[in-house]
Amino acid sequence: MTIDFQPLRTERLTLRPLRAEDAAELHRLINDWEVVRNLSRLPFPYPRELADEWIASTHKQIAEGTAWHLAIVGQDGDTEVLVGCVGLTRVPDTRRAELGYWVGRRFWGHGVATEAAGRLSRWALANLDLDCIFAKALVENERSAAVLRRVGLVEAGRGEAEFRARGGVLPVLHFEAGREDLTAPPPLPEPVVSTASALPPGAKPLLMVTACALVDPDGRVLLARRPEGKPMAGLWEFPGGKLDPGETPEQGLIRELKEELDIDVSAACLAPFTFASHDAGAFHLLMPLYLCRRWEGTVRATEGQALAWVRPNKLSDYAMPPADKPLVALLRDFL
């Protein structure tokens, strides 16, 4: 089975689909009581043939979009070394997925689990229709709980889970995290007023951004998905961005559309439509939204973002930042 999944990389590791030839080494690493005792679903001893069966099942799950179980590999010179596995399993009909991982005992204590679990979680929130990552750890397994906290998950209660290798039910800690916990926080803006001291007591800096609803000849609206590494990664928004000093909203939008989508737009083709005013916590965001039906060039993603042309009545199906959401109903009714 061919798997359309590009490996994920960190500073030290690669996360890639498992291969049939990984089975022997996978079995050697996981058929270890100190590893399996902390994993709820695995038997001990771990049969060699189970490694082959499980690797084959991971290919099917990735193809179906139900789970992403990946090999954690490092490099020893020119040799690839299997270190462990990390995975996410989607809960059907929800926007939640469960995180799991294990690392071979000889690789413990090097931050491998944190690095791999964090990378996969951030990738998933940026590229899959997920809003929440959750996990569990044995109460006695302080090492795993520490990994989850370092990744950004927060404790969300206690419960019990059956541990197959131990033949019984044991107490566990539940952890979970949303996009705001696992993706980069929004940067504090430069205030519109000249100095912070000019702000009255209790006032917040004002961030001016500008956005555009590009409408194609079929009446569809363009949405762009914020890529991994940016604040609110994985959410869909109207193209645009923050104004540079001295720019008008129209000038800033023309620049942003060229930088993000490689299209040329004239100010005459930008029709002011409405605006969003949103309290973003550390600052207040003001965002005018323009309509544009004419531009030069072919729309293409220049910053690695996903793009989608969406019918107006389907815009609400896309998860958006809080500032964009109120604009959807107005745009849908107008178009």
2 pLDDT band (50/70/90 cuts)? low
**Could you report the per-residue pLDDT of 54-107, keeping only the tens digit for each?**
999 999 999 999 999 999 999 888 899 999 999 999 999 999 999 999 999 999
Residue 310 has pLDDT above 80, yes or no: yes
Mean pLDDT of 287-302: 96
Helices then strands (H, E): number in the chain?
8, 15
Select the more confidently predicted residue: 228 or 151.
Answer: 151
What is the number of other CB atoms lying within 10 angstroms of the CB of residue 4? 7
* Bond before 45 cis per omega within 30 degrees: yes
Q: Which residues are bridge partners to 193 per DSSP? A: none
Residue 206 confidence (pLDDT)? 85
For residues 123 and 191, what is the distance between their CA atoms, to the nearest angstrom?
Answer: 32
Residue 185 confidence (pLDDT)? 56
The phi and psi torsions of 184 (rounded to 5 degrees) equal -65, 140
Residue 196 has pLDDT above 50, yes or no: no
Residue 198 confidence (pLDDT)? 62
Residue 142 confidence (pLDDT)? 95
Residue 205 confidence (pLDDT)? 84
User: Does an H or E element contain 133, and which?
Assistant: strand 132-138
Minimum mean pLDDT among 22-31, 225-234, 296-305: which range? 225-234
The phi and psi torsions of 210 (rounded to 5 degrees) equal -135, 145
**Could you report the per-residue pLDDT of 269-289, keeping only the tens digit for each?**
999 999 999 888 778 889 999
Residue 283 confidence (pLDDT)? 84
For residues 106 and 178, what is the distance between their CA atoms, to the nearest angstrom?
Answer: 32
Residue 186 confidence (pLDDT)? 55
Select the more confidently predicted residue: 258 or 186.
Answer: 258
199 pLDDT band (50/70/90 cuts)? low
The pLDDT mean for the chain works out to 91
Residue with tokens 């006695």: 140
The domains of the chain, with CATH numbers, are 8-181 (3.40.630.30), 196-334 (3.90.79.10)
- Which amino acid type is present at position 162? E
CA torsion sign, 105 to 109 to 114 to 119? negative
Task: Decide: 289 and 213 in contact? Cβ < 8 Å.
Answer: yes
- The pair of structure tokens assigned to 205 is 């800096």
Cα end-to-end distance, the chain, whole Å: 43
Residue with tokens 């070394």: 81
Residue 191 confidence (pLDDT)? 44
DSSP annotation string for 185-228: PPPPPPPSSS-GGGSPTT---EEEEEEEEEB-TTS-EEEEEPPT
Closest residue by Cα to residue 63 from 3, 120, 19, 129: 3
For residues 167 and 37, what is the distance between their CA atoms, to the nearest angstrom?
Answer: 10
User: What strands, in cross-sheet order, belong to the sheet with 206-214?
Assistant: 240-242, 206-214, 284-292, 271-279
Residue 48 confidence (pLDDT)? 96
| Residue % of the chain over a pLDDT of 90 | 79
Mean pLDDT of 206-219: 93
Minimum mean pLDDT among 178-192, 254-268, 279-293: which range? 178-192
**127 exposed, middle or buried (CB, 10 Å; 0-12, 13-18, 19+)?**
middle
**Could you report the per-residue pLDDT of 156-188, keeping only the tens digit for each?**
999 999 999 999 999 999 999 998 888 765 555
Closest residue by Cα to residue 133 from 183, 61, 59, 58: 183
Residue 193 confidence (pLDDT)? 40
Select the more confidently predicted residue: 189 or 131.
Answer: 131
Which DSSP letter does residue 303 get?
Answer: S
Which DSSP letter does residue 296 get?
Answer: B
Rg (CA), the chain: 24
**Could you report the per-residue pLDDT of 94-103, keeping only the tens digit for each?**
999 999 999 9
User: Using a CB cutoff of 8 Å and minimum separation of 24, what contacts does 154-160 make?
Assistant: 154/181
For residues 139 and 271, what is the distance between their CA atoms, to the nearest angstrom?
Answer: 58
